[in-house]
Amino acid sequence: MAKPGTTGYLQDFPPPPAGAAQSAKLMREFAARHGAEGRRVVLVTSGGTKVPLESRTVRFLDNFSSGWRGAASAEHFLEAGYAVLFLHRHRSMSPYSRRYATLDWLDTLRLVPAEDFTSRVEAEQCLLPGIVPVLEQYQRVREQGTLLTVDFGTLSDYLHLLRAAAEALSPLGSSAMFYLAAAVSDFYIPASEMPEHKIESSSGPLQITMKMVPKMLSPLVKDWAPNAFVISFKLETDATILVPRARKALETYRHQVVVANVLDTRRSSVVMVTRDCETCLSISEAEAEAGVEIEEKIVKDLKFRHTNFIEQQ
Ligand code: PAZ
């Protein structure tokens, strides 16, 4: 359980979203079941957070994150034997279906006349590249119950659910991993300062002051799940400040790894930054053509580091 005082981090935010208590229960049961079966459990956070400008929200700030990194990583963690708690932005990419996210489903289906003069629906397999192995993996994961998905919309929902997820995974100690790939807003408007109704455009240009979002990595590492293996992500657009910023985050929060990436090259290269080293992982053109994903390399690297971490406890 969280230590007294850590609830203060969320006091400026609206209350937990509807269904949060049920999600917390599902997450606790999921973690306990897989922990009892000796499986490692990873929390993968994914996608961007929505920051409302009004409490009856018409307008909000958002960011670029598609959730591809989180969804692809979740698949690779499942293949590597982890149970995955996938905390993701509503309608962002999901494991397995991400590959077909840009398809219009109606174009992939056709009607086939049936003997009783009705129609059956069949899929045009050629429009769904790789669907057989993808469906096999998806169905295996469903049968094994190794993937639990929970979604969030706003920054506030994300923060409440992150805390609940951390408390669910904490009893697993060092066999729990946190893989925090979501692009979480750094700024927000406190609930007490937010206008209730739609901001009037007739009042002229809009000026807003936003507060800094408290860094949840701090209570997560210190109080919520102090024995877990924790990985945060650092995104920059200027490659020259990437590794120094990642190092600063490691020094501040004292967690295990920062995966550092630059916006434009994030699909082909990342730097794994730890207290004593930096390891570049990249995908060559030939690998990209063969369908190798950078997330496969990230997960392989982290599984190895996680094993060492568990052994050192
Ligand atoms: O979601 P996506 O695949 O489009 O992008 C992934 C990412 C860049 C959001 C992720 O790799 C990341 O760096 N997340 C943390 C961002 C940050 O708050 O610094």
How far is ligand 1, taken at its centre, from the CA of residue 48, in Å? 8
Q: What's the N-to-C CA distance of the chain in angstroms?
A: 21
Q: Which of 63, 69, 75, 242 gets mutated to test ligand 1 (max ligand atoms within 8 A of its CB)?
A: 69
Lowest mean pLDDT among 63-67, 198-202, 234-238: 198-202
Provide the token pair at 15: 């209350």
Q: Which of 235, 253, 273, 294 gets mutated to test ligand 1 (max ligand atoms within 8 A of its CB)?
A: 235
**pLDDT the model gives residue 7:** 58
Structure pTM? Answer: 0.96
Q: Which of 45, 62, 65, 75 gets mutated to test ligand 1 (max ligand atoms within 8 A of its CB)?
A: 65
Domain ranges of the chain: 7-99+131-227
pLDDT tens digits for range 99-150: 999 999 999 999 999 888 899 999 999 999 999 999 999 999 999 999 999 9
Q: Which of 211, 225, 233 is nearest to 162 (CA)?
A: 225
**pLDDT the model gives residue 9:** 82
CATH number (3.30.1130.10, 3.40.50.10300, 3.40.50.2300, 3.40.50.720) of 7-99+131-227 reads: 3.40.50.10300
67 vs 295: CA distance, rounded Å: 12
Residues with CB under 6 A from ligand 1: 65-69, 181, 183-184, 233-235, 261, 266
pLDDT tens digits for range 158-190: 999 999 999 999 999 999 999 999 999 999 999
Provide the token pair at 126: 């050629």
**Coil vs helix vs strand at 48:** strand
Q: Are 82 and 42 in contact (CB under 8 A)?
A: yes
Which residues are within 8 A (CB) of 202 and not within 5 positions of it... i.e. 6 or more apart?
A: none
